[in-house]
Structure 1
């Protein structure tokens, strides 16, 4: 059983987190073959768009410009490529949900990009973590992803 993660990383925080998640999954797999492995696919501005044939979960940080996100809007910056990739052909139908990250100092805008993706593409906002996440975040999100894979297996 495999959990596919498509992610976009600007500062390296998202990449660092999903790699910790992947390493955690490898350890769990050594304890029980029933535990899923994590497969990573980084989407970048240079990525070749392709049709996704297997379910995946999207991981996206929040980078916004302007507004406060409540009453005068915001503009997503730097992470647009992941949204465009999800929009490509039928890829949105393969996405099981989104995990967001950000900086809690930004209050309501924390994980706003992931929340906007969930609303726009009509899939669930699964979880969040701050910056590079904590070991507890890794364990919690792995559990959420494991349950999700079991549900759709």
Structure 2
């Protein structure tokens, strides 16, 4: 299910310009938010409430949790707030990659929001991590982002 995502080594990957920026979504559980605090890189949070809007005018990598039921159920895997954010043409145009969290208990739908977004936007899936992430995940993601932004 994850074999056809875009890899960073692809010729058609648009590398980000400017400073590192992460746009992320975290539900009211704040799991992704706590991860972002530990990551300690420049970031913007997609609003939880629908009446709030975020507009981004610079290259960024998206970090999102996955809401999927496991098995072959992928409906609702990408949070509605992320869909709304990406439905804005400008926001979508600056997305250069995606990182997703998930729960390995859900098997093939583990962190499936990442591959779904990668395929839809034609951007690379940079990393997937479980739930709150580990110290290893923090180090890996920092290294991936630093290298991804290199010219």
Please classify the TM superposition score into its range, dividing by the shorter chain length. 0.7 to 0.9
Of 19, 29, 45, which residue of structure 2 is paired with 1:2? 19
Judging changes above 3 Å, is the alpha-carbon distance between structure 1 residues 78 and 96 closer, same or farther for their aligned structure 2 residues? closer
Larger Rg: 1
Structure with more strand by fraction: 1
Deviant stretches of 4+, over 6 Å = none
Structure with the bigger percentage of helix: 1
Aligned length: 131
- RMSD value, Cα: 1.8
Using the size of structure 2 for normalisation, the TM-score is 0.79
Q: Please show how residues 87-106 of structure 1 align to structure 2 within 5 Å.
A: 87-106=87-106
Q: TM-score, normalised by structure 1?
A: 0.78
Task: Give CA deviations for 1:85-121 in whole Å, capped at 9, x if unaligned.
Answer: 1220222221110000011111111010111011111
Alignment of 1:43-54 (within 5 A): 43-46=46-49, 47-50=52-55, 52-54=56-58
Shift of 1:16: 1.0
Does the Cα contact within 8 Å between 1:49 and 1:88 map onto a contact in 2? no
